[in-house]
C-alpha cells in the first residue's frame, strides 16, 4: 500500500492574541497550519489529520485523531469533556477541561497549559501529551508531511490495516454471469446427421466344469436431430452378439422453458422415457411412453429425496457422491442403465455428482446442485408433469422383459403451486400396475418452511377405499442436519416406494461433522421402524462416516437390523459393515469395496479393488482384484488400453481361483458428421453421448463481429471451455472440434490469449456461451481484433496517491474484461485490450477497504487511430462517510 504525501493550507482568518502583560501569545493562523498523513510501520492510517505548528511544538486536532485511530471516544464540546477508552477496554479515558484533569484508568493528572489549544477546527492537542495518553510515540516529520506512530506493541488499527492488506492481496476468483455473455444460437433442425458411439468386444472364456466358449457383444449409441427435436437410440446385444435391447426416444430439453407453446415445457420426450415418482404412491420407472414437464431440470421428484438414472455401457461403473461423500456404487448389469433411486437429501444445498468410469480409462461426471429449504419452493410458480408409459419395456422389445413388480401400463399427472416464498401445495393422480394388480389413486401435498426447517404433509386415497398419510421434515439446527418421516397405510393402500405389506414406517436421521485438526469428518445416523399388516415388525439402524486422506475418500457404512415375527421365533440380529474407497494415491486411481458380516451371517462376504494408472498420455493400465466368500472364489484381472486419435483398443485377461480364465479385446470409437463440410470424422472421444463445439477462429479486420471472405483464419490457437478446460489448437483453416461437453449445461467457450503469437491481437470478447446437445456440434465463431493499452494514475481527492488497488476495465455492456492492480505510485496498466469503448471501476473489495467509490466516471476508446491511451490522473471519490463531533 503506498504512503501518500500531501500538504495543504486552510484560509482561516485568525489573528494573534496579546496577553495582559503585552506579550504576544501564539494563536492559530494559516501559516502554521498542517495536514499530516498518519503512518504506523508500513501502513497509512485514516485520511490524514490536521494540526498546527505552535510556539511550543506540534498540536493535532483531537477529533481527527479519534477518527484516524478509530478510538471509541466521545468528544462533547458543549460540556468540554471527552470520555471513552484508548485501544483497550480496560484503558478507560476521561478528559475534563473545566476541571483541568485527565484520567486514564485509575491515574489522574492535571492538564498542562499548552496541552490543549482551541483552534477554529476544535481541540488541538500537543503531540507529547497525546503520546502520553495513548502510550505511543508521535513523531511529526514535517518535511514529508507525515505523523509517524511508534509503539512497543501492535495497535488495534495497525492490526486492522494488516488484515486489510491481506484482504487486498486476495483476488476473488473470476466469476461470470453466463446469461450476460454472448450466446451461441443453433436452432434444432428438421434433420441433423447423428453421431455414433460404438463399443464392440470379442473374447474367449472357460469356466470350471464348462467347455471353452467364444463370446462377442456390442453396444451402439446414436444421437442426432429429427423433425426439430433431438433423438437418441441404443442397440445392445448379449454375449452371443444377438440384439437384446433397442431403446429409442425423441425429446427436447430447455432450461429456460418455452417448449410446446402454451405448455412452456422444459422437457418432453417420446419413446423410451422415465416417469418421475409421485408424492407417495408411485416410484420412478423407465419404459416406453410419453412424458412432458415444466419443472426445472435439476428439481428432485420429492423434497427429501431424488433419483438418478442414465446410460451405462457394458463394462462401465458408476459412483454417487453427496457433498463429496461417497454414498453409492453401481456396476453395469447388461441393460445399459445405471440407477440410484430414492437418494436422501439434506437440508440446505446438496451437491450430487455421478461419476462414470469406463474400461478404457474414461471418466464422465454429472453434477447437480439441489437446494432443500425455503429456496426450493417455487413462489407463485406452477410446476407440472404428465405422462403415460408401458413400464419396464423398451420401445422396440427384442426379448422378454425382466420381471419387475411395476411392469405394465401406467399414466398420471401432477402439479405443484407455490403459494408464497415459504409454502406450496400439490396434487397428483396416477393409475399403475404393481405386483400384477392395477391401482388408481389421487394424492395431495402441502409443504411449508418453518424457520430452519421444511415440513411436508401428504395424503393419498385409492379407488378401493385405501388411504395413506405421511409427514416429513428436514431441518438444520446449527451445523446438524436432521430428518424425520412417518407414514401410515390404511385399507390395503399399496405404495411402490415402500415394502409390500407395510402398515406403518417411522424414520429419523441425523447428519453432522466433527472437526479433527484441520479436517472435517462427516458422519450420520438413521433409524427406521417398520410394522407390517401380518404383525411382523423390524428395526433397522445405519451409521455412515466419510473422511479424506490426501486424494482418497473412504466411506464406512454400518447396518444393524432386527426382525420381530408375530408367530414363531425371531431370527438373529444382523450387523453388516461395508467399506468403500475411491480416489488417487500418487499416480494410481483406486476404487474398492469390502463387506463383512459381524452378526447374523457373520464373516467376510466380498471385496474388490480396482487400480488404474497411466504410463503415458495415451496408455492406461488397469488391475482388479476381488473375492466372493459365497462362492469361495477369488479373481484377478489385468487390462491395457491404448488411445489412438481415431479409436481406443483394450485388452483384458482375467483368472479365478476355481480355474476359470477369460480373455477379451474391446474396440471403442465414435463417428460424427464434419461440422464444416461433408463426410464423417472418427474419434476416440464419445461424440454421441456428449456435446461438441465446432470452433472457428479468424481475424476480424473491421471489428464488426462477422467474418468476411477476405478475413484470414488463425491457426495454432488454443480454445478453453469453462474455467479450466482446454481443447486442441486450431488447424490451418482456423478450426478445431471440442468434445466431451456436458449436455444442457451452459459453458463458456473462448480463446486462450496466452496461445496467441502477437500480443497486440486479442480475442474480441471473453467468449461465447454454448449450451451443448448430445451428438451435435454447435458452430462457434471467435473473432480476433487488434489490441492496445490503457494506462493512468489513481489518486484520491486531494491528490493522495492510491496504490495497491484492484482496477477493472469494463466493456460497453458492463462486462469486466481485464483486471489489474495499481502500483505503489498509483500507476495502472491494461495491456492487450481489444479495440472498443471502455470504462473503469475499482474492485468492490478494494473500494470498501480504502473507503472510495467503486464507480469511476471516466471512459476511454481504443481504435486504429488511437491504439494507446494514457488517461493521466484518474481521481477517485471518497465513499460516503459522516464524522462529526458534538
- The CB density around residue 221, as the number of other CB atoms within 10 Å, is 26
pLDDT average, residue stretch 770-778? 89
pLDDT tens for 1-15 read 333 323 333 333 333
Dihedral sign of CA atoms 774, 777, 778, 784 in order: positive
pLDDT digits (tens, 9 = 90+) for 686-708: 888 888 888 999 988 877 778 88
Q: Encode pLDDT of 154-176 as tens digits.
A: 888 777 666 655 544 444 444 45
Share in percent of the chain as helix, strand, coil (round to 5): 5, 60, 35
**Residue 284: pLDDT over 50:** yes
Distance between CA atoms of residues 601 and 620, nearest Å: 39
pLDDT at position 836:
84
pLDDT bracket for residue 18 (50, 70, 90): very low
Lowest mean pLDDT among 50-64, 88-102, 437-451, 717-731: 717-731
Q: Helix (H, G, I), strand (E, B), or coil: what is residue 244?
A: strand
- Does an H or E element contain 65, and which? helix 62-68
pLDDT of residue 166: 52
pLDDT digits (tens, 9 = 90+) for 345-362: 877 777 888 888 776 566
CA torsion 66-71-76-81 (nearest 10°) is: -110
Q: Which residue has the higher pLDDT, 15 or 242?
A: 242
The whole-number pLDDT of residue 4 equals 30
Q: Quick: pLDDT tens for 785-814.
A: 888 889 999 998 877 888 878 899 998 888
Q: Does the predicted model carry a pTM greater than 0.85? A: no
- Bridge partners, 164 (sequence order): none
Cell of 824: 505503489
Q: What is the mean predicted confidence (pLDDT) over 133-161?
A: 84
Distance from CA of residue 665 to its chain's centroid?
A: 39
Give pLDDT, residue 561: 94
pLDDT at residue 113 in the model: 87
Q: pLDDT over 70 for what percent of the chain?
A: 90
Q: Which class for 614: exposed (0-12), middle (13-18), buried (19 or more C-beta within 10 A)?
A: middle
Give the torsion sign (CA, 728, 734, 740, 743).
Answer: positive
What is the spatial distance between Cα 247 and Cα 252, in angstroms, rounded to a whole number?
Answer: 17
Give the pLDDT confidence of 534-590 residue by residue, as tens digits.
999 999 999 999 877 777 888 899 999 999 998 888 899 999 999 988 888 877 888
Give CA–CA dist 212/43, Å, rounded.
82
As a whole number, mean pLDDT of residues 824-830 equals 87
Cα 259 to the chain's mean position, in Å?
A: 28
| Beta strands per DSSP E along 142-207 | 146-150, 191-206
Q: What is the average per-residue pLDDT within 606-626?
A: 88
Determine which helix (DSSP H) or strand (DSSP E) holds 225, and give its type and residue range.
Answer: strand 213-226
Q: What pLDDT, on the 0 to 100 scale, is given for residue 360?
A: 59
Please provide the average confidence, as pLDDT, over all residues in the chain. Answer: 84
Residues 280, 458 contacting (CB under 8 angstroms): yes
Phi/psi zone of residue 143: left (φ > 0), alpha (ψ -120 to 50 degrees), beta? alpha
Q: Among 7, 31, 10, 1, which Cα is nearest to 147's? A: 7
Dist. CA 564–CA 571, nearest whole Å: 8
pLDDT tens column, 869-886: 999 999 888 876 544 333
pLDDT at 738 over 60: yes
For residues 759 and 681, the model is more confident at: 681
pLDDT digits (tens, 9 = 90+) for 544-556: 998 777 778 888 9
* Rounded-to-integer distance, Cα 243 and Cα 332, Å: 17
pLDDT of residue 141: 87
Amino acid at each position: 500500500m503506498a504512503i501518500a504525501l500531501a500538504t495543504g493550507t486552510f484560509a482561516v482568518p485568525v489573528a494573534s492574541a496579546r496577553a495582559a502583560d503585552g506579550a504576544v501569545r501564539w494563536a492559530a493562523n494559516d501559516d502554521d497550519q498542517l495536514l499530516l498523513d498518519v503512518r504506523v510501520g508500513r501502513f497509512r492510517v485514516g485520511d490524514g489529520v490536521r494540526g498546527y505548528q505552535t510556539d511550543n511544538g506540534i498540536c493535532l486536532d483531537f477529533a481527527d485523531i479519534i477518527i484516524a485511530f478509530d478510538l471509541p471516544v466521545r468528544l462533547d464540546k458543549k460540556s468540554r469533556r471527552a470520555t471513552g477508552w484508548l485501544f483497550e477496554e480496560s484503558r478507560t479515558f476521561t478528559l475534563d477541561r473545566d476541571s483541568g484533569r485527565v484520567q486514564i484508568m485509575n491515574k489522574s493528572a492535571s492538564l498542562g497549559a499548552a496541552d490543549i489549544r482551541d483552534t477554529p477546527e476544535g481541540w488541538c492537542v500537543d503531540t507529547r501529551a497525546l503520546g502520553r495518553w495513548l502510550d505511543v510515540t508521535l513523531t511529526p516529520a514535517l518535511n514529508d508531511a507525515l505523523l509517524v506512530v511508534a509503539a512497543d506493541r501492535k495497535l488495534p488499527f495497525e492490526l486492522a490495516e494488516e488484515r486489510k492488506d491481506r484482504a487486498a492481496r486476495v483476488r476473488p476468483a473470476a466469476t461470470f454471469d453466463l446469461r450476460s455473455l454472448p450466446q451461441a444460437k443453433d436452432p434444432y433442425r428438421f434433420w441433423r446427421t447423428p453421431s455414433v458411439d460404438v463399443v464392440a468386444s470379442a473374447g474367449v472364456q472357460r469356466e470350471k466344469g464348462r467347455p471353452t466358449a467364444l463370446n462377442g457383444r456390442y453396444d451402439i449409441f446414436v444421437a442426432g436431430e429429427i423433425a426439430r427435436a433431438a433423438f437418441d437410440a441404443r442397440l445392445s446385444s448379449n454375449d452371443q452378439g444377438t440384439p437384446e435391447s433397442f431403446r429409442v426416444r425423441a425429446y427436447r430439453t430447455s432450461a429456460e422453458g418455452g417448449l410446446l407453446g402454451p405448455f412452456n415445457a422444459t422437457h418432453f420426450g417420446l419413446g423410451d422415457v422415465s416417469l418421475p415418482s409421485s408424492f407417495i404412491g408411485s416410484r420412478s420407472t423407465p419404459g416406453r411412453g410419453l412424458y412432458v414437464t415444466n419443472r426445472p431440470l435439476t428439481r428432485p421428484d420429492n423434497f427429501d429425496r431424488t433419483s438418478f438414472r442414465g446410460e451405462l455401457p457394458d463394462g462401465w461403473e458408476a459412483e454417487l457422491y453427496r457433498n463429496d461423500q461417497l454414498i453409492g456404487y453401481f456396476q453395469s448389469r447388461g441393460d445399459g442403465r445405471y440407477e440410484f433411486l430414492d437418494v436422501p437429501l439434506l437440508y440446505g444445498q446438496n451437491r450430487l455428482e455421478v461419476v462414470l468410469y469406463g474400461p478404457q480409462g474414461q471418466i464422465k461426471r454429472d453434477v447437480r446442485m439441489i437446494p432443500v429449504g425455503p429456496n426450493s419452493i417455487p413462489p407463485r410458480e406452477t410446476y407440472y408433469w404428465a405422462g403415460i408409459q408401458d413400464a419396464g419395456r423398451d420401445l422396440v422389445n427384442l426379448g422378454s422383459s425382466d420381471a419387475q413388480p411395476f411392469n405394465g401400463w401406467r399414466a398420471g399427472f401432477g402439479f405443484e403451486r407455490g403459494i408464497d416464498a415459504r409454502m406450496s401445495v400439490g396434487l397428483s393422480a396416477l393409475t399403475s400396475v404393481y405386483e400384477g394388480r392395477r391401482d388408481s389413486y389421487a394424492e395431495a401435498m402441502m409443504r411449508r418452511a418453518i424457520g430452519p426447517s421444511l415440513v411436508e404433509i401428504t395424503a393419498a386415497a385409492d379407488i378401493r377405499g385405501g388411504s395413506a398419510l405421511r409427514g416429513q421434515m428436514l431441518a438444520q439446527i446449527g451445523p446438524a442436519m436432521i430428518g424425520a418421516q412417518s407414514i401410515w397405510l390404511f385399507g390395503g393402500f399399496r405404495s411402490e416406494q415402500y415394502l409390500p405389506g407395510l402398515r406403518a414406517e417411522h424414520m429419523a436421521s441425523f447428519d453432522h461433522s466433527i472437526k479433527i485438526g484441520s479436517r472435517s469428518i462427516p458422519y450420520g445416523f438413521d433409524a427406521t421402524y417398520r410394522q407390517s399388516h401380518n404383525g411382523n415388525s423390524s428395526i433397522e439402524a445405519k451409521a455412515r462416516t466419510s473422511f479424506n486422506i490426501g486424494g482418497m475418500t473412504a466411506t464406512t457404512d454400518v447396518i444393524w437390523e432386527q426382525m420381530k415375527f408375530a408367530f414363531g421365533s425371531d431370527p438373529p440380529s444382523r450387523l453388516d459393515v461395508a467399506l468403500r474407497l475411491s480416489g488417487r494415491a500418487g499416480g494410481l486411481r483406486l476404487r474398492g469395496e469390502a463387506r463383512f458380516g459381524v452378526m447374523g451371517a457373520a464373516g467376510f462376504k466380498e471385496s474388490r479393488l480396482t487400480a488404474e494408472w497411466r504410463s503415458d498420455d495415451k496408455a492406461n493400465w488397469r488391475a482388479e482384484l476381488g473375492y466372493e466368500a459365497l462362492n469361495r472364489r477369488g479373481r484377478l484381472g489385468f487390462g491395457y488400453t491404448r488411445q489412438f486419435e481415431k479409436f481406443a483398443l483394450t485388452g483384458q485377461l482375467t483368472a479365478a481361483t476355481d480355474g476359470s480364465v477369460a480373455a477379451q479385446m474391446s474396440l471403442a470409437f465414435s463417428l460424427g458428421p464434419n461440422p464444416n463440410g461433408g463426410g464423417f470424422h472418427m474419434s476416440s472421444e464419445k461424440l454421441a453421448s456428449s456435446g461438441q463445439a465446432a470452433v472457428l477462429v479468424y481475424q476480424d479486420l473491421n471489428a464488426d463481429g462477422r467474418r468476411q471472405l477476405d478475413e484470414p483464419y488463425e491457426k495454432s490457437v488454443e480454445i478453453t471451455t469453462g474455467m479450466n478446460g482446454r481443447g486442441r489448437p486450431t488447424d490451418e483453416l482456423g478450426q478445431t472440434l471440442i468434445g466431451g461437453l456436458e449436455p444442457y449445461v451452459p459453458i463458456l467457450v473462448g480463446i486462450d490469449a496466452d496461445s496467441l503469437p502477437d500480443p497486440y491481437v486479442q480475442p474480441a470478447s471473453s467468449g461465447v456461451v454454448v449450451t451443448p446437445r448430445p451428438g451435435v456440434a454447435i458452430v462457434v465463431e471467435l473473432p480476433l481484433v487488434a489490441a492496445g493499452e490503457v494506462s493512468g494514475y489513481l489518486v484520491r481527492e486531494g491528490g493522495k496517491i492510491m496504490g495497491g488497488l484492484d482496477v477493472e476495465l469494463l466493456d460497453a455492456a458492463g462486462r469486466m474484461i481485464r483486471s489489474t492492480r495499481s502500483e505503489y505510485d498509483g500507476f495502472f496498466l491494461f495491456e492487450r485490450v481489444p479495440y472498443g469503448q471502455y470504462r473503469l471501476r475499482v474492485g468492490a473489495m478494494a473500494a470498501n477497504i480504502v473507503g472510495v467509490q467503486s464507480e469511476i466516471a471516466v471512459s476511454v476508446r481504443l481504435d486504429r487511430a488511437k491504439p494507446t491511451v494514457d488517461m493521466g490522473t484518474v481521481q477517485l471519490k471518497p465513499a460516503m462517510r459522516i464524522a462529526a463531533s458534538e
